[in-house]
Amino acid sequence: MIDMHIHTNNSDGTDSVKELLEKAENLKLKYISITDHDTCKSYEELKNIDYSRFFSGTIIKGIEIKVYYNGGTIEVLGYKINTEVMSQWLNDFYKDKSREVLQKKYFNLLYDKCKQMGLLLANKENISWNPKKDWASFVIYTEIKKHLENREKVPDDLWETFSGFNRKYCNDPKHILYIDKSEDYPSLTEAINAIKKANGLVFMPHLYIYKWIKNKEQFINDLINNYEIDGIECYYTDFTEKETQYLLNLCDKKGLYKSGGSDYHGENKPRISLARGYGNLNISEKIIENWV
């Protein structure tokens, strides 16, 4: 069994690298990849420890990069990367726009947009959060949900799930909550070029979760036909069997590599277990044997 999509406390997960490795060992995972958001800090840690003391399987170096695409944001995975080259690119790109700077910006923008919608929120200074670790969109969504009066002021899918709020409305140029991030994140092409420069493989993760994208088939075809993609994350916690099978068949048809992962974040996504997702995810190491 494998898990090729995992986050530690070096981005927005809660497990340390050591804790994560110990959990992976307990599950007897054969391959894992730590794919923290926009950072390779976990691999800097691994250079200084004998990780075989905690995990007997194989670690494939990875990263998840947020990118700007057609008006919204999506993510791209890089595997087998040279982490030093990737870290240098990240430092160069984000030198004037750190995570803290960007999250403070989004917090203020989203707060003001919610107030324009007539939503009840606590005063900004009374909302406790850490822009170095927390996502502004999740902080604002949590604050919206604290006030039941807001229930009747927002669409059902915005209220019911953070994914609806963030993946749909905050990325929909036609909605008041939309935030233009074109100047804040690399384009998909820029991220792909960076991964290739770091001698990595480019995979597209969780292709069905972007609720702001109406036509998923057209979206997937655009990625495959117009970008230098090496593979697709075919197994994912939120995928239906039909979606997984479609992606597996597509990879076979197009000659693309396959991968899969839980998108584990520890206590920040408590329903998702390492390697198991919601409990029934069981990804065989056989799907990645032709590229690891």
Could you give the CA distance from residue 118 to residue 153 in angstroms, rounded to a whole number?
Answer: 8
CATH topology of domain 2-97+187-288: TIM Barrel (3.20.20)
pLDDT at 149: 97
For the record, the structure tokens of 152 come out as 């009747």
pLDDT digits (tens, 9 = 90+) for 59-97: 999 999 999 999 999 999 999 999 999 999 999 999 888
Amino acid found at 128: S
Q: Are strands 62-69 and 72-79 parallel, antiparallel or unpaired?
A: antiparallel
Percent of the chain at pLDDT above 70?
Answer: 100
pLDDT at 96: 84
Opening angle at CA 75, ends 243 and 218, nearest 5: 50
| Local confidence band at 123 (pLDDT 50, 70, 90 cut-offs) | very high
For the record, the structure tokens of 202 come out as 């480019």
Could you give the CA distance from residue 81 to residue 86 in angstroms, rounded to a whole number?
Answer: 7
Q: How far apart are the first and last CA of the chain?
A: 14
pLDDT at 38: 95
User: pTM for the full model?
Assistant: 0.90
pLDDT digits (tens, 9 = 90+) for 126-183: 999 999 888 999 999 999 999 999 999 999 999 999 999 998 999 999 999 999 999 9
Could you give the CA distance from residue 18 to residue 46 in angstroms, rounded to a whole number?
Answer: 9
pLDDT at 192: 98
pLDDT at 263: 98
Cβ neighbors of 213 (< 8 A, separation 6 or more) are: 72, 219
Where exactly are the structural domains of the chain? 2-97+187-288, 99-171
Assign 63 to helix, strand or coil.
strand
Backbone angles phi, psi at 3, to 5 degrees: -150, 110
Instruction: Kindly tell me if the per-residue pLDDT of 14 is higher than 90.
Output: yes
Percent of the chain at pLDDT above 90?
Answer: 92
| Local confidence band at 48 (pLDDT 50, 70, 90 cut-offs) | confident
pLDDT at 98: 85
pLDDT digits (tens, 9 = 90+) for 249-284: 999 999 999 999 999 999 999 999 999 999 999 999
Return mean pLDDT, the chain.
96
The stretch 92-104 carries a mean pLDDT of 90
Provide the total of helices (H) and of strands (E) in the chain, helices listed first.
10, 8
CA distances from 204 to 40, 192, 209, 259 (A): 18, 10, 12, 9
For the record, the structure tokens of 158 come out as 């915005």
pLDDT at 99: 85
Instruction: Identify the helix (H) or strand (E) that includes residue 5.
Output: strand 2-6
